[in-house]
Amino acid sequence: MLLETAPRFVYVVALTALALLVTACDPAPKPPAPAPAPAAATTNAPVVSTDPAPGTTNIYEVKGLVQQLRTNGLTAIIRHEEIPGYMPAMTMPLSVKDTNDLAGVKAGDMVSFRMLVTTDDGWIDQVQVIGHTNMPPAPPPSSRLVRNVDPLKIGDKLPNYPFVNEFGKDIKTDEFRGKAMALTFIFTRCPMPNYCPRLTTNFKRAYEALEADAAAPKNWHLFSLSFDVQMDTPPVLRAYAQRAHYKPEKWSFITGAMIDIDDIGERFGLDFNRKEGTFDFNHNMRTVVIDTRGRVYDVFIGNEWKVEDLVSRIKDAAKVPVTGEVPPPPESIGGYVSP
């Protein structure tokens, strides 16, 4: 992609080959250590809630087609069937805790497996090859209108983006100048607890830690930005937000025009594609901290960052003086390498 200082409109082809279709978020590359599965709680029978009780595991028997195997030996991208009571048929990266579970499995294999879901994790095991098919040819590419933008470095100013919050109110990011801002990217239909739900849970814990600390700065605001613009309307976002027992004056659930969401995401290395007509999403994860001057203070990569690190960064960003000499930008603790 060509990078330009002044935005211009171009058509960017979003590759939607089956080998690249993934629904949920790309987890951080850190391989999980082998661990015994928690006690089983349920099976494929429809459940009232997709959230397992604490200390239990929902177990689903699933079949699917392997699209791709990641080089770490722990992740396969699988187009799986509908899982009644949990999620519709989709394509997503699914991880194992033991590389032996994927030994001998290759792209094009039809497989059966167990999907195990706890309150904060999800993985598969007992992967068995039950058939094989030649991978179909890639479908024609789709496209959407986006801008060519420059990536942002630590210390760069955030553009003034227009969004709409969970109450249907139009907002702009410059309205929050003088406050530290933390922003992460989600979509409310993301089912696996270690992907988008983990980001929301981490934000909730950061929110609670900041609220509980009497000595913490009060000039901060959190934003959960949904890129599922068709589904995540303000009423949907409001219902989702209410589950976090939040204060709207401190945390907003927002969405907006796809061209603006693409713009802000691309500036921080958010890779995002969607298969048209489905909710097959393919995206990685970014969480951004902005200081009181509207400058990038830090960017957290993936989903393995610690809540206390985010809280620390928000506190520091909130203490940046709005006027006077501009302090030098900090070194990233979130794993971000400025372009």
Say if residue 12's pLDDT is above 70: no
How far is 271 from 25, CA to CA, in rounded Å? Answer: 10
Task: Supply the mean pLDDT for the chain.
Answer: 82
The whole-model pTM stands at 0.74
Of 75-84, 117-126, 149-158, 269-278, give the lowest mean pLDDT range: 269-278
Kind of pairing between the strands at 162-164 and 75-80 = unpaired
Q: 228-249: per-residue pLDDT in tens?
A: 898 999 999 999 999 888 999 9
Beta-bridge mates of residue 95: 75
What is the maximum span of the chain, computed from C-alpha positions, in angstroms? 67
User: At 182, is the secondary structure helix, strand, or coil?
Assistant: strand
Q: Which of 288, 281, 235, 229 is nearest to 255 (CA)?
A: 229
Report, as an integer, the average pLDDT of 21-41.
43
Say if residue 256's pLDDT is above 60: yes
CB atoms within 10 A of CB 284: 18
Q: How confident is the model at residue 31 (pLDDT cuts 50, 70, 90)?
A: very low
Kind of pairing between the strands at 180-186 and 220-226 = parallel
Tell me the domains of the chain and their CATH numbers. Answer: 33-132 (2.40.50.320), 142-318 (3.40.30.10)
Q: How confident is the model at residue 149 (pLDDT cuts 50, 70, 90)?
A: confident
Q: 269-289: per-residue pLDDT in tens?
A: 887 665 555 555 556 789 999
Amino acid at 121: D
Say if residue 51's pLDDT is above 70: no
Angle, nearest 10°, between helix axes 307-318 and 196-212? 50
Amino acid at 269: G
Rounded to a whole number of angstroms, the CA Rg of the chain reads: 21
The per-residue pLDDT for 283 is: 61
